[in-house]
Amino acid sequence: MDTRRLNDGDSIRRRRKCRVCQRRFTTYERMELGLMVVKKSGEREPYDREKIVRGVYTACYRRPVSTQRIEQLVNEVELLLRSHESREVSSSEIGDLVMQHLRELDEVAYIRFASVYLSFEDIGRLREAVEELMQQKQKQNGGVLPHERRHPE
């Protein structure tokens, strides 16, 4: 019935109608990256978009982040991976890209993802990550954290 390109041509949406039952079906097709992911252990496996999607969804659980924004984040990460010169990419490089995008999207989701991805060994390392995030936020706001701003009464 209909075919449309989405995400600057990275994916295609096809709408079909069954000739027998007359029901409509929609499918989405994505271009394969053809990347091999090199894990910390040295093991290699084919790139799997769904692993990133699951990790980001888990980090954003019960956060005010739309499904559309999560998909956009994963698309942005894939766009950066597509421009990678090598056909192999380390899992840590993928994790770093996801963390950079999550930091901008939602701070709590960023800390959740970082706690799993960086395998914090103790609460001290988690505290360091939160303090680092707060320092960056303070720099962005001219030395004042958002909760410290005084509002005229």
Q: What percent of the chain has pLDDT over 70?
A: 86
pLDDT score, position 102: 93
Fill in the amino acid letter for 97: L
Mean pLDDT score, 24-50 = 87
In this model, does residue 149 exceed pLDDT 60?
A: no
Report which of residues 132 and 10 the model is more confident about: 132
pTM given for the model: 0.68
What does the alpha-carbon distance between residue 91 and residue 112 come to, in Å, rounded to a whole number?
18
